[in-house]
Every structure is written in structure tokens, then in C-alpha cells.
Chains A and B, each alone.
Chain A
Amino acid sequence: MNTFFQQLVNGLTIGGIYALIALGYTMVYGVMKLINFAHGDLVALAAYIGLTIFMKVGTSSSGLSILLIVLIGTIMIIVFAGMMLELIAYRPLRNAGAPRLSAVVSALGASMVLENGMMLLWGPNLKIFPSNILPSSTWSIGGVIISSAQFFIIVSSLVFMLLLHLFINKTKLGTAIRAAAIDQEAAQLMGINVNRVIVTIFVLGSGLAAIGGIFVGIYYREVYFNMGWLYGLNAFVAAIVGGIGNIPGAMLGGILLGVFNAFISGYVSSSWSEAFTFILLIGILIFRPTGILGERVAEKV
């Protein structure tokens, strides 16, 4: 039974990270019907930026204040990068009325630029986060081990997801986002600035990606230039499992995928865990193409 709960904790930790990243995919898809393939690379970029800031602020002291500085600094830079991405790679295509496929190709191109840019800037060798960012204590609750980093990641991903949920459902801008997701043209006719909505979702998505990247950095402590692909792909699967375009779906999908992976590695075979991820994806696409929660599609007459 201990093993079961331990796997649950393992799954929730990585699942929380997947969920944060999946939100970026799903929000962009919801409004623009575009898979932003460069999103995973923003996660890797965030880890590099976080590490760089951490090295500047000082490695001697640890504690929440340093972590807060790193987190805020990284979020600001990655949000800027996300806005640039939208401005350079997607907006010109949208303004020219290019087909959606062109935007997907542009996304893949942007991903390669980011990946190779990171390789040139920080080198092809892996970089390592210092181990003293969070106190390295672990607690044993009835035999189930949970470390402070895991606890921190699980709790704060839930908090950030709750904040996003409130923002989308309780604010005016959130309402505008929901409107644009249902029908861009109608939203525009109602006086909603769709370009501003799109910038907003890139800001939100990149901010969450930045948080995910920092979490990867402080928990796994290993950063390499093409790791964005790994997290991007898993988060993408999570977004589809939950129902792409659907915000609670991405949260659920991320956490479910993390837990699913942990149980497959734990009880079936660690060699096959990735294959099972994609079997799950195929299964969902065949039996429930809109994902577990399904996209909220407005009735079209």
C-alpha cells in the first residue's frame, strides 16, 4: 500500500509540472486553433534563465526570498520571449491570412531556432542547478516519502492553476478570452480586441511555462538544451487527453498523465512507460477524440 501512495506522490509531482505546461498549449489552441510547438522550448529556456539569474543573485544563501527573485525574474523574461514569439512567428502570418498549416510550420521553425539558440548560448553540455535552492529535507508520512521540493511543486502548481481559473472566469479579460475562444469574429464584432486577447494568452502561457521550467530546474537540477522537447511532448499529450482547448482539461490531463506514467513504470514496466503514454493517446483519440472533459464548442447553426 505504501508503494501505491508513493507512486501517487511521484505522479502528482511530475503531473503538476505537465499540467502547468499543458495549460500553455491548450490556451493557445483554444483561441488560435494552433499547436504552439515552441512552447516546450520556452520551458527549457526558463530553466536556463533561472539558472543564470540564480548564479548572479548568489549561490551562498538559500531560502524563499532568493527563490522568489529567481521566479519573478524568469517569469518576466520568458513572458517577454513568449510575446516576441507571437509577434515574430505568428502575428505576421495571421495578418496575411495565411492557412493554419503555415502557422504550425512556423511554430516548428521557432522551436528549432530556440533550441539551437540555447545550444549556442549555453553550450551543448548539460548545466546543473545548485542543490541548495530549497532545503533538502524529506518527510515520511506513514512510510510515504515526500521531499520539500515535491511538496512545494505540488502545492504551488495547484495554487497557480487556481489563480488562472479565477482569472479566466472572474475577470473582464478572462471573459474576453473565453469569448474569443468560442468565435473570434463574433468577439471582434462585440468590440473585443482579439490581438490583445492573443497577447494575453501568450503572456499567461509563457508565465506558466516559466514556472514549470524553474520547477524542473530545482527538482531535477539538470538542464540541457533540447529537454523542452521531452516536457513539451508530454504536456501536449496531457492537453489532448484532457481535451485540448479546455483549461480544466489541461490541468486534469497533466495530473492524470503523471500519475498514469508512475503507475505504468511501477506496476507494468519502466521500459515501456513511454510506449504506454502514446497508447493512451491513441486510445483517447479513437474513443473520445475531444478528450476527457471535451472542448466546449458553441452550437453553430
Chain B
Amino acid sequence: MKKLWGLFLVLAVAISLSSEAMASSYILIGVQAPITGKYANEGQGIAQAVKLIVSQQNAEGGILGKKIKVIVCDDEGTAVQAAICARDLVNKGVIAVIGSYTSTSTEAAEATYYRANVLQTSDGTSDRLTKHGYWTFFRNSFPNSAEAAFTAQYLVNKKHYKRIVVLSDHSSYSNGLSNAVAKAIKKAGGTVIYRGRITSGAQNFTPVLTKIKSMNPDVIYFGGYYTDGGLIRAQQVELRIKADFVGGDSVDNPDFLKLAGKSAAGTYLINVPTPSILPYPLAKNFLKAYKARYHMMPPSIWTLLNTDGLRAILFAIKETGTTNTVKLAKYLHNLKDFPGITGPVTFLKSGERTGSVYMTYEVQENGSKKIVYKEK
């Protein structure tokens, strides 16, 4: 028995040494994403997209003469697991991490990557992500404050709504976005007559809507998720509240249209472009390759935003000829208009991506979406 243990130990050492040796001949890229759990399809989309881009790069002979290897860690969309993933990926020697999908698990991992000099690029929209002063962090999407500013501009200056109701649920994303929207509306000179919160998943929203009805609003803005948004809209129409309905980015989902049914027509949804309408040839090529390899479309725009984060990092490695993350970060901070799948990529010193491309869609009678207002 003791002999067996000895043999086992020798084997274990040999394996760990060989994987160590392997690591140096590869450039390691980590993916930290929710592969299982509530956001599983988004997390799997990110991992698939990263693997696709890396295999394309490897087919061209890799980068700096080395092949790239992807290590995926499942953070289940939770903060606890995210911290474990961060440690794990750092120990395995990755130079950059793509992810995570949610702001919560992104923030939980940020400090670990910062201390280990590992680059991180995430689609999290919470404003706080870029407020820590970590030079390692790059946001590949746009912060809630950008969406809020666009929303306020649309509601107050474009549609001239006088009496605005802002609704959210209690989650940090929804509450944060809706608070930002309410603040931006006031700044733009509009009036928020009611700022309400609902319990996500409660299904019965008629009491709060009845209260809203008595206030005679011009518009109801909901900055939460499609599951609640669809029911709020359906119950709003049922109660004959003659106000427009405007939904934030997480309301924009095919299930919103199904839940709201006939009432979906005439609602406005504010979001970045959906993958299929991106005007860039790069995007069309990427979607084609993704579909050919996985026989499905990417789950959402978030997949593509993360892909752009990865592409920018690979581009920086090529241009600087190094994998030294300090030099890479310096290069990325000065990156201007890198041609991305989701539009030009430019990073500020804070790691914030500039040049948001929000737009307003109007849902048509047949359930399709038409762009009615674009950010200039």
C-alpha cells in the first residue's frame, strides 16, 4: 500500500511538472463565466466565442510564435465561486481573463487579478467596476450611467414626456440602472413623478400599476428583467393605463414579446444593437463562423462584447510583441478606434470603453423591432 502511494506521488509530481513545462510554451487565456446556473447560456456563449477566436488565431500560427490555450472556470454567476475561480486561474498562470458575465461575480474577482497583474475584460455594466483604480480591468461593454444618460435624453428631449414613472426591482443591476435613469431625467430637466420598486417574480403587479394609474403618467420606464417587464406591460394594458412603456436593456428579450403578447406592440426598448443587426462586416463574419462551429447563434450581444475584449488583448500582444501585462495595459489604455465586432473599441485610462451605441427600438404589430432613435 505504501509503495502504491509512493508511485502515486511520483506520478502526481511528474504530471504537475509536465503541465508546468507545457504552460511555458503556450500563452494561457482564462475564461471566468457562469457555465452552469441561472445565466448558463450566456456563460457558455462567452466560453464558446473565446474558443472560436483562439482556434482561429492558432490556425494562423498562434501569436509571437506560441499557441494560445484557453482555461475555463465556471463561476456559477456567484461572488463566492468567482473568487475561487480568480485564484485558480491566477495559479494556473493565465495572462488575461475574459469575464465574468454578471457585475457581481466580476467585481468579486477584480482585486485578485489586479494583485497578480492579470488583465481582465468583462461586460459587467455596474458603474463601480471601473471605480477601484485597477489598471488591469477593461470594460468591453458600456456602463449603466451611459445607458441612463441615453434613456433620459430619449425620454425628456426626444419624446418630451412630462410625467415619468420609473420602476425597478430590488436587484443591484435593476435598482442601480433605474436610480441612474431617475437622476439623469432630473438632470435633463424632466420630472419623475413616481419611483417604485416591485418584487421580481411576484407576477401580480396590478396593485402598483393601479396606484400609477391614479397619477396619470405619460410613460412608465422599467429598468429590470424581461420576466417581470412582460407581465407589467400586459397588466398595464389590461388596466387601460394609457402611458407609453419603455424598457431597459434586460427587458429586450424574445420572452418579453411572448409574455406581453398583443400588448408588446408599441413598446420601446433601449439597448445596444442586437448581434444580427450589427452593420460591420467583422460582425457578419464572426456570426457566420460561430454558427458554422456551434450550429446556433450567440445567445446575446454580451457574447460579442466579450469577444471584442479578447480581440483587443490579442491585438495588443501582437502589436507590442510581449506578454508583459503592464506593457499590454499601457497599450490598451491608449488604444483608439480598434475595429471591433461591436463597433470601434477605445479605452479610457480607467479601463472604461467609450463610444456607446445605444438605440431605441419600437416593437411592431408583428413582433419585429424597428430602430426609432439612435445615439449620435
Contact = CB atoms under 8 A, between A and B. Distances in A.
A193 interface: no
B210 interface: yes
Interface in B180-223: 196-199, 201-204, 206-208, 210-211, 213-214
A11 interface: yes
B203 A222 contact: yes
Interface in B260-278: 261-262
A136 B262 contact: yes
Interface stretch (A2-10, A58-66, A80-88, A166-174): A2-10
A262 B203 contact: no
B284 to A, nearest CB: 28
Contact of B213 (A3, A147, A220): A3
A140 interface: yes
Contacts of B38: 124
A57 interface: no
Interface string A208-238: 0000000010001110100100100000000
Interface string A134-148: 001010100001010
Nearest to B194: A270
Contacts, number: 83
Given A262-B207, A270-B197, A273-B207, A230 B202 contact: yes
B92 interface: no
A230 B213 contact: no
A116 interface: no
Q: Chain B interface mostly helix, strand, loop or mixed?
A: helix
Given A6-B239, A128-B258, A220-B231, A266 B203 contact: no
Interface in A230-257: 230
B204 A270 contact: no
Contacts of A227: 201, 203
Contacts of A145: 238-240
A131 interface: yes
Contacts of B201: 224, 227, 230
Contacts of B196: 270-271
B227 interface: yes
Contact of B207 (A11, A140, A216, A221): A11
B242 to A, nearest CB: 12
Given A128-B258, A222-B259, A270 B239 contact: no
Contacts of B129: none
B234 A265 contact: no
A261 interface: yes
A259 to B, nearest CB: 10
B358 to A, nearest CB: 26
Nearest to A2: B214
Contacts of B210: 3, 6-7, 10, 262, 266
Contacts of A6: 210, 213, 239
Contacts of A98: none
A128 B204 contact: no
B255 A128 contact: yes
Interface string A11-50: 1011000000000000000000000000000000000000
A183 interface: no
A262 B240 contact: no
Which of the listed residues B38, B206, B259 has the most CB atoms from chain A within 10 Å of its own CB? B206
B227 A270 contact: no
Contact of B198 (A7, A261, A270): A270
B259 A270 contact: no
A126 B38 CA distance: 11
Contact of B203 (A216, A270, A271): A216
B240 A138 contact: yes
Given A3-B214, A145-B238, A270-B198, A265 B231 contact: no
A264 B199 CA distance: 14
A18 to B, nearest CB: 10
Contacts of B40: 124
Given A147-B238, A270-B211, A273-B207, A222 B202 contact: no
Contacts of A131: 261-262
A7 B240 contact: no
A284 B86 CA distance: 48
A274 interface: yes
Nearest to A230: B201
B239 A126 contact: no
Nearest to A267: B211
B234 A221 contact: yes
Contacts of A126: 227, 255
Contacts of B255: 126, 128
A224 B198 CA distance: 18
B182 to A, nearest CB: 14
A24 to B, nearest CB: 19
A216 B202 CA distance: 11
B372 to A, nearest CB: 25
B230 A222 contact: yes
A260 to B, nearest CB: 10
Ranked nearest first, the 4 interchain pairs of A and B with the lowest CB-CB distance are A265-B207, A270-B208, A10-B206, A271-B197
13 contacts: A10-B206, A14-B204, A128-B259, A131-B261, A138-B238, A220-B204, A221-B261, A222-B230, A224-B201, A262-B206, A262-B210, A265-B207, A271-B197
Given A230-B203, A271-B197, 18 more contacts: A3-B214, A131-B261, A131-B262, A136-B262, A145-B238, A222-B231, A222-B259, A230-B202, A262-B206, A262-B207, A263-B207, A265-B211, A266-B210, A267-B211, A271-B170, A271-B196, A271-B198, A273-B199
Interface of A: 2-3, 6-7, 10-11, 13-14, 124, 126, 128, 131, 136, 138, 140, 145, 147, 216, 220-222, 224, 227, 230, 261-267, 270-271, 273-274
